[in-house]
Amino acid sequence: MLVAAFTFSLFQQEEDFTKELVDGSFISAQKIYATAVKTDTDKLSTALEFIVLDAGLRHAMLAKDRNALLQQSLPIFQKLRQEYGITHFYFHAPKRDNFLRVHQPDRFGDTINRFTAMQAEATGKPAAGLELGPLGTFTLRVVFPWYEGKRLIGYVELGEEIEHILKQINMLAGIDLYLSIKKQYISQPAWLDGMKMLGR
């Protein structure tokens, strides 16, 4: 009976220790995730504050000159991608029709119905969030309404994949995280295009 009581006590202590360890790691992972998302949202917002002030971009958008807008914005995108890991750069017309994807200039004209774009339209203020795009990429996005005086001329959007955040959690909390997306929410050809865009 003593051996049984000792074994049970040892088992109970091990179970309590494991629960505390798992709960503590989970809370740490949540805090790291929330901090990383806020930091990256602030980074995207800061970049957009400068982009919407760029006179060359504004002139090309007002002239509805897609080629000029691409020429003006491509060097900005390349710098943002190389230095800050930004993977998506969009210009949308006032009714949320995509005017230019700097990261995929051959795709344009579709209406953007993501939550962040719709929220920016509804409030007239910047909107941010994590969203699953049509290419099957899970992306942190920030959308800024773009004004000429009081007139809305469109929206500017930046986005980045969140894979690096999962790596941060692994490094800081020692937890392996995996992101899975149900195939029913993704078009396979679009997903393959998305992987090609990301160089995978």
The 10s digit of each residue's pLDDT in 1-26 is 666 655 656 666 666 555 565 556 67
**Model confidence at 66: pLDDT above 60:** yes
Calculate mean pLDDT across residues 127-134: 85
pTM of the model: 0.78
Higher-confidence position of 9 and 199? 199
Say if residues 64 and 94 touch (Cβ distance below 8 Å).
no
| Residue 139: predicted pLDDT | 87
The 10s digit of each residue's pLDDT in 81-129 is 999 989 999 999 999 999 999 999 999 999 999 999 999 999 999 999 9
Calculate mean pLDDT across residues 66-77: 97
The 10s digit of each residue's pLDDT in 136-178 is 767 899 999 999 999 999 999 999 987 777 777 777 777 777 7
| Residue 34: predicted pLDDT | 83
**Distance between CA atoms of 129 and 150, rounded to whole angstroms?**
26
Using DSSP's 3-state secondary structure scheme, residue 138 falls into: strand
**Distance between CA atoms of 104 and 87, rounded to whole angstroms?**
10
Tokens 């949308």, located at residue: 92
Calculate mean pLDDT across residues 65-79: 97
| Residue 141: predicted pLDDT | 95
Mean pLDDT of the chain: 85
| Residue 89: predicted pLDDT | 97
The helix/strand count (H/E) of the chain reads as 6, 5
**Model confidence at 31: pLDDT above 70:** yes
**Distance between CA atoms of 25 and 38, rounded to whole angstroms?**
20
**Distance between CA atoms of 113 and 120, rounded to whole angstroms?**
11
| Residue 4: predicted pLDDT | 60
